Structures are given as structure tokens and as C-alpha cells.
């Protein structure tokens, strides 16, 4: 099934394919109570359809509840305890990248169905 979705997304016209990406170089951290709040920028068209697909993906998997989309600023934030290792933060960014790829696919498919 996932392969069929990828093939369909690859066949879409360029103007209907979302290319939002996580800008890892923009990662910022700030102390927030007993946690650290991280924020990372997104590049590409973060608009209504893409935001809906992001929220649907979050509802589909509890692995993604950690992330908060702030579409006005085109950023995603997440909080972790202050003692979390840098390796763990890196894995969370990689998970966010997978989420964004899935959202791009879903939003592109929704666009093709409109």
C-alpha cells in the first residue's frame, strides 16, 4: 500500500506536489520550565491543506504527538526534559523529517483528488 502511495505521489504534476522540508540548521533551543523547548523551521508551502495533513498524521500515530506545528511562523516545536542527550534530540529531528515526508505525500494526494 505504501509503495502504491509513493508511486502515485511521484506521478503527480509538479505544481501539486508538496516539498516542505525540515531546516535542521535552524534548530534552536530554549529553557522552558524543567524542559528544553526546541524549534526548527520548515521550508516550502506550509498552507491549509498541508497543515490539515500534518494534524491527521499526528492523530494517526502517537509517535508524532510531541510535535507542535506553528504554521504562521513555519516552525515546529517540541519539548524534552533538560537531561535528554543530543543523540536523542537528533533522533527526534529525524522522526520529524519522516513525518514531514509523510505529510508531503498525503497533502499532495489530497490535492490530486480535489
Domain 2-106 grouped into CATH 3.30.1460: yes
Hey, what's the cell of 18? 508538496
What is the length of the chain? 114
Percent of the chain with pLDDT over 70: 82
E-assigned strand segments in 1-114: 21-32, 35-43, 68-70, 75-81
Domain range summary for the chain, segments of one domain joined by + = 2-106
Percent of the chain with pLDDT over 90: 75
- Pick the residue with more confidence: 100 or 113? 100
pLDDT above 80: residue 90: yes
- Pick the residue with more confidence: 38 or 11? 38
What does the pLDDT read at residue 111? 65
CB 20 within 8 A of CB 78: no
Average of pLDDT values for 35-56?
96
Taking alpha carbons only, the member of 8, 24, 26 closest to residue 16 is 8
What is the band of 95 on the pLDDT scale with cuts at 50, 70, 90? Answer: very high
Amino acid at each position: 500500500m505504501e509503495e502504491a502511495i509513493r508511486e502515485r505521489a511521484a506521478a503527480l504534476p509538479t505544481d501539486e506536489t508538496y516539498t516542505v522540508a525540515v531546516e535542521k540548521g535552524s534548530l534552536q533551543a530554549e529553557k522552558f520550565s524543567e524542559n528544553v523547548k526546541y524549534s526548527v523551521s520548515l521550508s516550502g508551502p506550509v498552507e491549509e491543506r498541508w497543515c490539515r495533513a500534518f494534524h491527521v498524521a499526528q492523530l494517526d500515530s502517537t509517535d508524532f504527538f510531541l510535535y507542535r506545528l506553528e504554521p504562521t511562523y513555519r516552525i515546529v516545536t517540541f519539548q524534552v526534559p533538560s537531561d535528554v542527550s543530543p543523540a536523542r534530540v537528533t533522533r527526534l529531528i529525524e522522526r520529524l523529517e519522516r513525518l514531514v515526508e509523510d505529510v508531503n505525500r498525503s497533502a499532495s494526494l489530497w490535492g490530486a483528488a480535489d
